[in-house]
Structure 1
């Protein structure tokens, strides 16, 4: 009987956990080509730098906005060819999870859901800016989140819902 009660408690916990996507939207977009048209006359040997930033904003009980900011800087030599920055956001209802699970959902799972949207927007911006196609490679947000947690522990910080990568 104890096994049945334990299984019943596990089922109740799982039934109480909810993850709902309310909305996914583009919060901010920026594209700059500070050295055009000169860039189009140079031999295309780009240096690519990608920066990721995740922020979590509580909106109410069990409701969170997660913002994934991706900044792509491409240089040819010492000149910036283009700079693309996209803030992709989502509003998520997340309830019934323990604190560590909630932090992982907001710091890893949600950015993973948002990333394909960012990749599409950046690809379109770069293409419309007259540059060769750019497709961002997948990001292992679980590994990035784990690295962020480790860094926070080493620094003695507790919250893990705002990550700079």
Structure 2
């Protein structure tokens, strides 16, 4: 393959990835707003859009890995670096690759933030359900089917000798 064709392909993939990551950032920020405002309907739509972005990113990654295999380099960061050195002596694509990596890391932190909020809310709901059912003070143990079960008495220790 000609280095220019390889460079053009990588440039297109990086442009698509940058645009998709930018869209994902927006969606994750919107998702956070929907989580804090308890807008379940909008949250559901945002989740679908987020999944679409993730699918697009996976497709881009698959195409990049395919290009690496076709060029007989490993499909990891070292292989991509080797490919970039070969087809992009000006190092412009390396800068764009680094920017995509930073944006992906930012998306991960936004997703982690949203996940922490969801987890906190689930714990709160679990606690409220425990109060409503009268099981809040009972210890939780794993039952025979692997799910949490309460012992029925909070003052009894269950042990197997």
Which is richer in strand? 1
TM-score, with length taken from structure 1: 0.25
Which is richer in helix? 2
TM-score, with length taken from structure 2: 0.25
